[in-house]
Copies of this chain bind each other. A is one copy, B any other.
Amino acid sequence: MAKKKYNVAVVGATGMVGQVMVSILKERNFPVGILRPLASERSAGKKISFGKDSISIDTLSASSFKDIDIALFSAGASISEKFAPIAVKAGAVVIDNSSAFRMDPGVPLVVPEVNPEKAREHKGIIANPNCSTIQLVVVLNPIHKAAGIGRFVISTYQSVSGWGKEAVAELDGQTRSILNKKKPKVNKDILPRQIAFNLIPQIDVFCEDGYTKEEKKVVNETRKILGDDTIKISSTCVRVPVYMAHSESVNIQLKRPLDIKRLKEILSKAKGVKVMDEPSTSTYPTPIDAAGKDDVFVGRIRRDDSAENGFNLWIVADNLRKGAALNAIQIAESLFL
């Protein structure tokens, strides 16, 4: 019997996440019948590679989802808001990488290592969490199950690829200018400040209380995915001059005692987690170690004596893969394979 195949649409196929979605579908041998890459009119006529095939990009429209089984969206919240319901009506299951539906109580927010069962409760749309949240909960979930996380404080070190191709080009162009002793050009419509050899303690726009939307996402999405609204969270999100992979310095306070050896053992056995932690050989994850990899890496695991049951962790993952495209395709796998 022939294995069932699925017709897959990728909305935002020319974006950084969309491109990785297409390559991961091939890499993981997802049983794709028709692949339909969709983008705005600007990309009409362009082609993308899918294994040995070259496939023309279609312009996204209300009729794009005919015969589509799975629609992977990664073209921003406003596109998802408009077209995801259309795709659902056409019979597709939507896995949406934008923030449009994440906090909708009727939409599951899924990280397959953490809450795969939620995916099955969908009513057409499943939301893919924010990149910085995904890598965090993959590591925190097994700890939360073992000893209960009461509170955590997170400071992030996020790469430019998390803000798209234009931000990557900003880092690249500004860096070249500075090395050539020229004044770097800063396009504030892309990133609010110079990123080359600099840091930007602002990701996304500010809310009234002085936190950025990115910082709020970490709080709200973590609680929803771990299914525990009592976890206390403080977050600070910072853009760093790194191309690929997000890093996070996370200080956790557990509700119940946990031996550090046991903590390391729990993380070593956790699905999707790779422990890289051997100070004597300077072994710990850095962005270039995680780039292109599927695992979430954790190192610098230390007891924190400044709090009861306190620990520090350093968490690094490829923001385009596990932080976006891979997680979306893992959701599709959990539902259809």
Contact = CB atoms under 8 A, between A and B. Distances in A.
Interface residues of A, number: 55
A282 B188 CA distance: 10
A199 interface: yes
Contacts of A200: 286
A301 interface: yes
Nearest to A210: B302
Total identical chains: 2
A80 to B, nearest CB: 26
A18 interface: no
Given A200-B286, A210-B300, A282-B193, A157 B314 contact: no
Nearest to A311: B234
Contact of A201 (B209, B210, B247, B306): B247
28 contacts: A153-B153, A153-B251, A155-B155, A157-B157, A157-B238, A171-B197, A175-B175, A175-B179, A193-B286, A198-B242, A199-B240, A200-B286, A201-B284, A201-B285, A201-B286, A201-B300, A201-B314, A202-B284, A209-B303, A210-B300, A233-B306, A234-B251, A236-B249, A236-B251, A236-B300, A238-B247, A238-B249, A240-B240
Top 5 A-B residue pairs of the complex, sorted by shortest distance between their CB atoms: A232-B306, A155-B155, A206-B279, A155-B249, A192-B282
